[in-house]
Amino acid sequence: MATFHEALKHKNRLSPVLLKRAEVVAVGVGYADPGKPALGAGVIVYTQKKIVPSSLTSLKGVLAKSGAGIPIRFVPSGGFKLHDAAPNAKAVRPKLFSSRVRPVPGGVSVGKVDPSATGSGGLIVTRDNQLYLLSNNHVLVKNNSNAFAAVVQPGPSDSGTAARDTIGRLFRFVKLNPSGTNYVDAALALPSSNRLLNPRYLLRSSGQLVTVPGHLASYPVGLQLVKGGRTTGFVRGTVESNNADVRVTYGGSLGVLTFRNQSIIRGNDGAVSLPGDSGSVWLRASDRFAAALNFAGTGDGMRSIGNPIGYVMSAFGVRTAVPLGGGKFRAGTVTGFAPPGNPSYVRALTKAQRDSIRVETAKSKP
């Protein structure tokens, strides 16, 4: 039986080799058998859905030669790609998540008009008594640049227009690196007024708004999560693997980007990440602490890729906004630090990795 420490070391040796193969889309660490956690950890290799037998035999041969005796589990997930909505793409579940909502909570449709992109608002966060809306770079940023971008709610795919529905503008974002390693796909929108944002999270189609009391610095494989998002609405998921290296198809000038130290979250009851869900945030089911920022998923929506939220909050220097009543709010708490020597949890980034996360400020005017 392998420990998570052993599985992580083996995964780190294998990942650079495996991700060069077209049939492999991600490599992470999880349970050798999710139905029997007592059997210990293993390396999880995510592949394209259809692999010719000769390629699969070759892949298994590479793994067999690596030795180490660490269990390897193959998951035919299919490739991972962005989940912002194409123009006119309709939500498949509750209408409320794709409607015009004022003041704006987390979890609802947001986007930019030029070029058109529609995703989900993630969290309402705060720094220095200012509120911001957290989402993804590819939802709020124009072509990975610091160009001025108006932010609308709802997004263009839900009939949002700049003239009627602008709530603010792009403020700061993490620059995506097409030739190197990425850790987050994230951006902040600055509202025209704090009053336009509601420091709560829309979780259910009934209109249930929940307070997000803070965020997790780390969390383990097997954690139960919930999420609200523009397209799939309220969903439940399980952290299937952590510390995963993933190739994500962006298309255009960015092509395929490599992300490291990601979480792969599997839906409990169906699709959890479809086009339009980019930017939504996974919450720990037991207490609604924020865990991961969704930005991509498989074609069938059954698996979500999430940036560990601790990476995102640290990059921007923000905390969740917790309402106090009367229009006032406070900064949320940070909890869930990883126990020493337990790699089933999301790993903290090294100083060099943190320094590689390039945060830029967008232009304040067109």
Distance from C-alpha of 298 to C-alpha of 245, rounded to nearest angstrom = 15
Question: If you average pLDDT over every residue of the chain, what do you get?
Answer: 95
pTM above 0.85, yes or no: yes
CA torsion sign for 213, 215, 216, 221 is positive
Question: For 96-198+356-361, CATH number?
Answer: 2.40.10
pLDDT tens digits, 17-61: 999 999 999 999 999 999 999 999 999 999 999 888 788 788 888
Whether the Cβ atoms of residue 135 and residue 106 lie closer than 8 Å to each other = no
How many other CB atoms are there within 10 angstroms of residue 62's CB atom?
A: 13
Same fold, 96-198+356-361 and 202-347: yes
Q: Where are the domains of the chain?
A: 4-78, 96-198+356-361, 202-347
pLDDT recorded at residue 66: 75
Whether domain 4-78 has CATH 1.25.40: no
Band the pLDDT of 94: cuts 50, 70, 90: low
pLDDT tens digits, 101-112: 999 999 999 999
What token pair was written down for 83? 């989940």
Whether the Cβ atoms of residue 204 and residue 96 lie closer than 8 Å to each other = no
Class of CATH domain 202-347: mainly beta
